[in-house]
């Protein structure tokens, strides 16, 4: 086979250019730290790297959503803590106002304190989230969600709550109406009411036998015969369920419920027992209490009844806010657990991406040295081929 000088030149030049290209590519890979810089380098691993990057991007989005929820719930938990503390102060003021030795002026002073606490609670209910929204706005409101009207505080936000847009359902806002305006009345099962009495009062009552509860309404009325005062308990249909002489301090029990009536009930006095409903609001409780404390010339029984009812209702609304605070705390705990899963998923994505496209530095250095040696050999070969020409020989 005849090999011309021109062919030798061409072959040597092509080999030299190939070696130089390979050396440049190896140098580029070492500089970037990437084994796969474009899809044509390794289509399979390039596709794996793209899928891994999608996992990382989704994890980053979930992390941002998680932080938004955590910030909002931290602010909400702080707000509910402030509200609980204010309600505790209101309870202490009501305990003081129930003192039978207080004058009307002293009870009015406690009412003024409750008015100040009510205003602070109203401010907490309308607290901003620091980003143009409101913590208790439900599904959103451009204005403060609670409005103080002549008929009481009204909720003008959108009922419900907003969750962050992520793979995990985490709250971003709280349903303000449910938090502040929908506490259970009475003791949570039934509510006792002093319908007409100026000489006696009734306590909050308690459940003595859950299996006997009917969820019905009842009334207690008093009669007198032979100087003995007796009570009669009837249901909503008028059926007599219990009847006995009245003894102060002795509990009255009927169909799984137990309650005490104190004082000296008179003929015609009436007390009602009705099922509990979630219609009690924080501000309504304070408004009723303030109105009663500023009413002069009330009897001792009326003062006692007001104090007991107010304490019962303050405990109910305070308990509802405490339950909500616990739920918010659970959301924060869940956010911590979610963060662990998001971090683990992101690490998986980063690891998969690295395995698919990152360079093994030790192997890369070895390859670079080999290609550098090959390039040097090609230069020497080309130099030798240059001396094969006839003109070189003649000279």
- In the chain, the N- to C-terminal Cα span, in Å, equals 28
pLDDT of residue 174: 84
pLDDT of residue 291: 94
pLDDT of residue 88: 96
Instruction: Give the position of tokens 């998923």.
Output: 345
CA atoms within 13 A on the CB side of 348: 11
Return d(Cα 252, Cα 220) in angstroms, integer.
10
Q: What band does 385 get if pLDDT is binned at 50, 70 and 90?
A: low
| 58-107 pLDDT tens trace | 888 888 888 888 888 999 999 999 999 999 999 999 999 988 888 999 99
| 249-293 pLDDT tens trace | 899 999 999 999 999 999 989 999 999 999 999 999 999 999 999
DSSP 391: H
CATH superfamily of 39-185+277-358: f41 fragment of flagellin, N-terminal domain (1.20.1330.10)
Give the ranges where 103-186 is alpha helix by DSSP (H). 104-125, 176-181
> What residues contact residue 358 under an 8 Å CB cut-off, 6+ apart?
33, 34, 35
Return d(Cα 243, Cα 144) in angstroms, integer.
52
Residue 213 has pLDDT above 90, yes or no: yes
Which of 145-149, 185-189, 281-285, 383-387 comes out lowest in average pLDDT? 383-387
pLDDT more than 90, % of the chain: 48
Select from 136, 149, 131, 181 the least CA-distant residue to 317: 181
In degrees rounded to 5, what are phi and psi of residue 72?
-65, -45
Average pLDDT, the chain: 83
| 330-356 pLDDT tens trace | 988 888 888 888 888 888 787 777 666
pLDDT of residue 376: 67
Domain ranges of the chain: 1-33+359-395, 39-185+277-358, 191-276
3-state helix, strand, coil in the chain (%, to 5): 55, 15, 30
């Amino acid at each position: 086979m005849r090999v011309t000088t021109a062919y030798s030149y061409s072959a040597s030049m092509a080999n030299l250019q190939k070696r130089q290209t390979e050396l440049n590519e190896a140098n580029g890979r070492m500089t970037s730290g990437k084994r796969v810089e474009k899809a044509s380098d390794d289509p399979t691993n390039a596709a794996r790297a793209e899928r891994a990057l999608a996992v990382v991007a989704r994890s980053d989005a979930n992390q941002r959503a998680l932080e938004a929820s955590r910030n909002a719930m931290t602010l909400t938990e702080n707000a509910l803590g402030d509200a609980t503390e204010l309600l505790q102060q209101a309870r202490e003021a009501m305990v003081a106002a129930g003192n039978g030795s207080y004058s009307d002026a002293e009870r009015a002073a406690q009412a003024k304190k409750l008015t100040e606490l009510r205003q602070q609670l109203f401010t907490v209910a309308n607290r901003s989230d620091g980003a143009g929204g409101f913590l208790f706005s439900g599904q959103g409101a451009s204005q403060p969600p609670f409005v103080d009207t002549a008929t009481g505080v009204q909720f003008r936000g959108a009922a419900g709550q907003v969750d962050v847009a992520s793979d995990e359902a985490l709250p971003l806002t709280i349903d303000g109406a449910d938090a502040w305006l929908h506490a259970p009345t009475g003791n949570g099962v039934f509510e006792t009411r002093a319908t007409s009495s100026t000489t006696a009062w009734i306590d909050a009552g308690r459940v003595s036998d859950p299996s006997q509860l009917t969820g019905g309404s009842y009334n207690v009325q008093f009669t007198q015969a032979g100087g003995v005062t007796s009570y009669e308990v009837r249901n909503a249909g008028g059926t007599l369920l219990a009847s006995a002489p009245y003894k102060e301090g002795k509990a009255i029990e009927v169909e799984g419920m137990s309650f005490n009536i104190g004082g000296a009930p008179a003929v015609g006095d009436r007390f009602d027992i009705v099922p509990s409903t979630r219609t009690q609001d924080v501000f309504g409780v304070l408004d009723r209490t303030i109105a009663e404390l500023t009413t002069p010339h009330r009897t001792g029984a009326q003062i006692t009844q007001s104090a007991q009812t107010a304490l019962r209702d303050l405990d109910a609304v305070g308990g509802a806010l405490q339950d909500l605070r616990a739920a918010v705390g659970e959301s924060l705990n869940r956010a911590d657990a979610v963060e662990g899963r998001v971090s683990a998923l992101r690490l998986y994505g980063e690891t998969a991406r690295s395995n698919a496209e990152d360079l093994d530095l030790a192997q890369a250095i070895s390859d670079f040295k080999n290609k550098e040696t090959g390039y040097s050999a090609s230069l020497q070969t080309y130099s030798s081929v240059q001396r094969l020409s006839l003109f070189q020989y003649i000279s």
